[in-house]
Amino acid sequence: MVSEPDKKTASAPVSALADRLSQFTARIMEPVAGPFRTLPGNARGAIWILLASFFFTVMVALIKSVGGEISVFQILLFRQIVMTCTVLPILVSGFPEILKTRHLHLHLVRVALAVVAMTCGFTAFIHLPLAEATAIGFAKSLFVTVLALFILREVAGPRRWLAVLVGFAGVLIMVQPGPAGFNFYSILAVIAAAAAAGVMVIIRKLSRHDRSVTILSYQAIMVGLLMLVPTVYYWVTPTLEQWLIMGAIGLFSVVGQLMNIQGFKEGEASAVAPMDYTRLIYAALIGFAVFGEVPDLDTALGAALIIGTSIYTVRAEKRAGERSRKAEPAGDSSSS
């Protein structure tokens, strides 16, 4: 889950696209568009996040369906191509000034972490049950608390640290360390969550210095370039069905991202963010219906601990931010 500052940072360059999506959806769903617009902002935001979660879950299910024959690098490259084409007008209109930055090293680290997060995460989705990989992925909000302490010098109170420890206990329950060792693909899912958290923290740091469109541009350009070499090495000529699936992966990713942005634009982050956890429900249903997967007790228990503590840390962060703003002259940044 992404905190409110991270969402605002990521959303600015593509907010126009999100607006167009909202307008297009309103036109094709005119019979319900009127009542939808009368709903409170948090309710509209929650509905957008529910839809985004569904699209993201379908995306990873498609990755799982084609990942046995096509390398994750090839899938990532074509997903990136589709996503880059979507924001290409924004990139072209500001090029080359859009790439000017005094913090190139942070952009490079952020892109490297994004590649690790996507490569490890997609590999985990291919080899693990959808519900298990999805639940472990939610641990990124726990890693954010830890990384923000060292990178951003943020402060977390004892109750928040306790929540983080309980959340990581849920991760261990799902990874299931034992005499035979760890599940390799579960470890990849944990690495992906940690790398994704690193991306979120670095975006928060970069947003203090660079425009959000600059951050987006480095991601769009460099991730695709980094995927070229391994894609050529592991190239498999896709069938027509596989081409269509990879195109759908990119499309579902773009639509899901736009819906996510619209959700956080219309509602408060602390109110709509918990809706993202419906991915676990979608993953369990799709995993059972399509792949014959049945979540076990360990997955259910671990997921409950991760989700519960993640929601607590996000809401604790909001309360800490509100207290910090009220006590700004005193510089109080403690949190519960």
Domain positions in the chain = 4-330
Q: Measured at the alpha carbon of residue 191, what is the angle toward residues 103 and 120, in degrees to the nearest 5?
A: 90
pLDDT of residue 238 exceeding 70, the answer is: yes
Q: Output the CA–CA distances (angstroms, integers) from residue 74 to 70, 230, 232, in the order listed.
A: 7, 8, 8
- Taken in order 157, 158, 159, 160, the sign of the CA dihedral is positive
> pTM score, two decimals?
0.78
**Residues composing the chain:** 336
CA distance between the termini of the chain: 19
Q: How many CA atoms lie within 13 A of 79 on its CB side?
A: 28
Residues 43-86 pLDDT 10s:
888 888 899 999 999 999 999 999 989 999 999 999 888 878 87
- What per-residue confidence (pLDDT) applies to 331? 45
Phi-psi region of 237 (alpha: psi -120 to 50; beta: other; left: phi over 0): beta
Query: For the ranges 4-13, 198-207, 253-262, 320-329, which has the lowest average pLDDT?
Result: 4-13
- What per-residue confidence (pLDDT) applies to 188? 94
- Phi and psi at 145, nearest 5°, equal -60, -45
Residues 166-200 pLDDT 10s:
888 888 888 776 555 567 898 999 999 999 988 88
Q: Give Cα 165 distance to the centre of its chain.
A: 22
- Taken in order 301, 302, 308, 309, the sign of the CA dihedral is positive
CA 253 – CA 226 distance, rounded (Å): 19
CA 297 – CA 294 distance, rounded (Å): 10
DSSP-derived letter for residue 128 is: S
